[in-house]
Amino acid sequence: MNAASSSTWMWYASRATGVVALLLLTAVALLGLMVSRQARLADLPRFAVTGLHRNLSLLAVAFLLLHVLTAVADGYVTIALDSAVIPFTSRYERLWLGIGAVGLDLFLAVIITSLLRGHLGRRAWYAVHLLSYASWPIAFAHSVGSSGDMQSGWMLLLAVACAAALAAGITWRVRAAARDLPRAQRVHALMAELHARKPRAGAQ
């Protein structure tokens, strides 16, 4: 693929939205890790972190859809719309676009179940939500594999930085979970900590 020779703006738009979507999805995944460990971001209250995770994910999906639609609409290469969602059916770049379609499907599953969260059991929602761990590497592979530019230079650096950030985030999440107190002891620990800080507190 030599996209640089293309003169259509849509081709560029497609690639730009693709890169933004990858960045956004990285941010969304990092925020998701924080939400699951109830971590705080700067001075934001926890529910604001949750809100950011949710809203950025919707933005990311908007960019993903733009990315797909502009790629399909662009006439330079022919990509059928259905091959954007049905994996490995594209005649052009079958492998890398197929991987991208798998990623898109997984993201859509995560988003749709989250929008329907009120109607699903928590367990079912969470099981689907964990698919995001699979979807990110797939999206990453699609990005690097199908783009000539991301295989070198600052674009490659950007991609590697995203992967490194996510790897660090996952490591932190696993460690934090291992440090977790058993549920039955959490409140006691916190009460003890609060009382130690303010020796005057205590009704008797």
Partner 1 sequence: MTIPNEATFPVASPGSSVRPPASGVPRLLPRTPDGKPGRVPQDLAAHQGTHGSLPYRGGAGRLIGELQAAGLTGRGGAAFPAHRKLQAVFDAARVTGRQPVVVANGAESEPASDKDATLLWLAPHLVLDGLQLAAEAVGAGRAVLYARAASQGRRQGPLDSLNEALARRRDARLDRVPVRVVQAPPRFLAGQETALISHLDGGPAIPAFIPPRPAERGLGNAPTLISNVETLAHMALVARHGPDWFRAIGTRPEPGSMLCTVRRGDGAPRIIEVAIGAPLSVLLARSSSPVLIGGYHGTWVPASLATPLTLDNASLARAGARVGSGIVITLPPDRCGLIETAQVVRYLALESAGQCGPCLNGLPRIAAAMAQIASGRPRRGVRADVERWAGLVTGRGACHHPDGTARLVRSALTVFADEADLHERGRCSASRHAAPFLPVPQATARIEADWR
Residues that bind ligand HEM (CB under 6 A): 25, 28-29, 32-33, 35-36, 50, 53-54, 57, 107, 110-111, 114, 117, 129, 132-133, 173
Instruction: Select the residue interacting with partner 1 from 1, 9, 38, 112 (CB under 8 A).
Output: 38
Stretch that binds partner 1, among 45-53, 87-95, 129-137, 138-146 (CB under 8 A): 45-53
CB 52 within 8 A of CB 31: yes
Residue 86 DSSP one-character state: S
Stretch that binds partner 1, among 8-16, 87-95, 167-175, 188-196 (CB under 8 A): 188-196
The structure tokens listed for 129 are 């939500």
Q: Does 179 bind partner 1 (CB under 8 A)?
A: no
Instruction: Select the residue interacting with partner 1 from 2, 119, 153, 178 (CB under 8 A).
Output: 119
Nearer to ligand HEM, 28 or 84 (CB): 28
Residue 116 DSSP one-character state: T
CA distance linking residue 147 with residue 15, whole number of Å: 8
The structure tokens listed for 9 are 């703006």
Q: What are phi and psi of 170, to 5 degrees?
A: -65, -40
Residue 122 interacting entry, from ligand HEM, partner 1, none, C-beta within 5 to 8 Å by type: partner 1
Residue 108 interacting entry, from ligand HEM, partner 1, none, C-beta within 5 to 8 Å by type: none
**Long-range contacts at 169-177 (CB < 8 A, ≥ 24 apart):** 169/29, 169/30, 169/33, 170/33, 170/133, 172/33, 172/37, 173/33, 173/36, 173/37, 176/37, 176/39, 177/37
Q: Rule CB under 8 A: which residues touch partner 1? A: 38, 45-47, 118-122, 182-188, 190-191, 194-195, 198, 200-204
